[in-house]
A and B are shown apart, each in its own frame.
Chain A
Amino acid sequence: MPFSERAAAVRKQNKGHVLYWGGRKSDKLVRSYEKEEVNRYRVELELHSQLLRREKISTLDDFEGLIDAIYPRHIQFVDVAWDRLKRHLRRKRHGRALIAGAQHRAASLSRLRRYLRRHGISNFNRFLLPLAINKKIDRAITTFFLDFKDMP
């Protein structure tokens, strides 16, 4: 197989495995994928100059400011408070169908949010509960940026 075809095949293969949020022209772009080189699942936050300016990150010593800038504003893991959501949906017309539709889309938070908004449920955030893993993320980010200057 010629190089160009091989490269295209790899690109196509990777395209399905990487998830993207945001965009190149917005203030951040998020990629998530399996990083085989380190045998871990990686979430990459690409912070653009617009966001860096807003958070006043302009020198190397300002990197400490990323602790508050990143978590919880730009990364968080949440779960849907199904009891609360169901209680809310039951009061609506076609409540049961709405609940079934929501449960059908539970595998993707984006799809679920879009579905509920289409049916007139705004402010989806009130049905979200933070997960325990957020504490580990917060601790990892804080430790890393506090020790960043002294790291070998």
Chain B
Amino acid sequence: MHAVTVKIDRVQLVSWAPQGRTPPRVKGFQVTRDSFVRSQTTIPTYERCRHYESKENDAKIYWQYWRQKAWLKAWKITMVADDSTGLSYDEIDAVLRHCKFWHFLTIEVAIDFSHSTGVNRDFVRRHAVFGKSRRRA
């Protein structure tokens, strides 16, 4: 077991799709839910969300579709990794092969430190620098 391990923890992207196209079947995943999404703010975004779960691990996909505003892309897809394995190339590729003119909104990289490295909350407060980002109270 390595002292420091890196994983892709979450990927979010938007994609073009033909009008009215519903999310496809994704290799290695099964649909667990497909439901109406009530508007979370004053601006409605996507009307429906289809949930997928991996057949092999705990990875999940949330596929939002039926946009409510013309300026939104047709699909917004969030992939959440299994805690222990992270997202693999194949899992992301299985989604991307159904998309066209897509771009990433977020890529979340998780860096896990074993306790033997001595990295904990106090260590991070005392020693970590994340570029120009400042700590939020």
Contact = CB atoms under 8 A, between A and B. Distances in A.
Interface of A: 17, 19-23, 26, 28-30, 32-35, 37-49, 52, 57-58, 60, 63, 66, 70, 73-79, 106-110, 128, 131, 133, 136-137, 139-141, 143-145, 148-152
Interface of B: 2-10, 83-84, 88-89, 92-93, 96, 103-115, 117, 119-131, 133-136
Most buried by A among B5, B112, B114, B120: B112
A136 B111 contact: no
A136 B3 CA distance: 8
Contacts of B84: 37-38
Contacts of B103: 49, 58
A57 B107 contact: yes
Contacts, number: 165
Given A26-B133, A47-B107, A41 B115 contact: yes
Given A41-B119, A43-B110, A60-B92, A48 B105 contact: yes
A109 B115 CA distance: 21
Contacts of B136: 20-23
Contacts of A144: 5-7
Given A48-B106, A60-B92, A76 B129 contact: yes
A41 B129 contact: no
B121 A19 contact: yes
A60 to B, nearest CB: 6
A49 B106 contact: yes
A76 B87 CA distance: 24
Nearest to A131: B127
Most buried by B among A28, A107, A150: A28
17 contacts: A17-B121, A30-B133, A32-B124, A43-B113, A46-B108, A49-B106, A58-B104, A66-B107, A74-B131, A75-B130, A76-B130, A77-B123, A78-B127, A78-B129, A136-B4, A140-B2, A140-B111
Contact of B129 (A33, A47, A58, A109): A109
A141 B2 CA distance: 12
A133 B121 contact: no
